[in-house]
Structure 1
């Protein structure tokens, strides 16, 4: 097959590219095409493709933060910026709208990746098509969580079979096969625990976790959410499964309002993913069906925020939870979940002072 590509001289090389990481076992040398680990290196690649632009590095970092570190995604995004002549802040801002990221990824292939046979969307579709259905189901759940670090034990802990029943059946793929398929296709990356953090007993950090975590490329997450938006039934199912995984992992607040400071490390581990799930509630392509258990989760996280004096976005989250109660409960229903939520809201208002409800 490769005979016609053989060099005419005595010395030469053939470079074969593939999305299959197993190809490295049949080659003498391989170049990994995963995500770039350093934000500075990712930024340098973006600047390289923005040939005629004077790039402010802070503005460039804002773009990297929203598109992720996959080289083909960076090259594709830079090509779109070149074609549209938009500023970097405007490009980054456009990703706050649910539909705009997919407009970028699904558009015509820009010149910056003209040497590639496939566009970014085509590469993504190929990777998805080769996944077993249960593995794709796991990946669709991951799309609702924090892409910078999803604790593996939240997905693969032994008590999860009733939520992800398709994973643990006799015909199911099992955790090892799930991770193998996702990682080998560069849809996620695995981040090992930091032994030094474990020995020091330090709190979990996104950049140096004391627990194994899965990282999802932001561009992959955006494409997954777009595809789920096209299938509301599957999206609702995956959203509920993702919620159930979080609910099982996140402790509940004390019904007696006792301090939960002994559980702070557990909350800190899962708060980023709860925030990500919440972002999908308030910014959906079409609204999700509200349910009371979601209010309880947001109330528990709100109570943790109050104990830690974390005010950024806390009242907005709690007010969203109160709106859900208004939608699913009768006006005269003294439900304990609503009562507990109002206590947490009142705690924030008491700290904020007079007229806080209108201004928090």
Structure 2
């Protein structure tokens, strides 16, 4: 029996380039894309493409990595509920106490085989399918999305957890409700797609709008000099200490000047070291090189943050809005929506 990556599904073999989304500000209009605009909730998970062939299944990341062994429950579910000759695009997610838990997914990729089995039992994954690339051994990528969606829904009539289909709507008001109401459960926002567009791997053919909220964090350090900071290093109080939870995107010149007016050298002992690993500022950055911090007397800043939270840090860069010197840094609290995984 040939390896599954050598089984050709009429031009489809893993790994395959996935379609991508372009970030936009705000919710796209119903007329934003050709044909009808189809809206789907954007979940906080791992992009996975499931290949079914020769009685087996493999699961592939958007970067072409075989992740099958990290999701044994999804591999077996795919064999049971997806016919041979099908290729399904979607997201792997983990739910914890009614909320999407990206950190639980992240732990799988660094776990030993024995530890992985324990994680799978304690925090099983689900798969949310949102597109079909191949059906019955035929390449479906040239079909318009509305037809691919119909094929997906037909395939999913026999699906039960851990397999599910992403909800989809053409109703802009319903999309707005999803955008607002699902952020508390860890959803990142919305994805908008054209009903008549084929699947173009490697192209940014969709639109994504992330839910961002404004919150106060403690600026305990900056990157760059006091008089011309280039990034903020943000902290939040956790377990009795001020913990680094992320960094800002590069500051615009005007924002750098505005912030610098409130920056002072620290008085007394500072809770942070003067150098940290790059992964301390961004836990999902593989570059662990040391980063020099310019420590400052803690000052409160208001930032815009999206919904992606790992349990101990923000997954994406924060956007500086303004300095809040009138707020005592000791009064800043972890927002309720971020209380997860012991944070």
Q: TM-score, normalization: structure 2? A: 0.25
More relative contact order in 1 or in 2 (CA 8 Å, sep 6+)?
2
Query: Which one has a larger percent helix, Structure 1 or Structure 2?
Result: 1
TM-score by length of 1: 0.25
More strand by share: 2
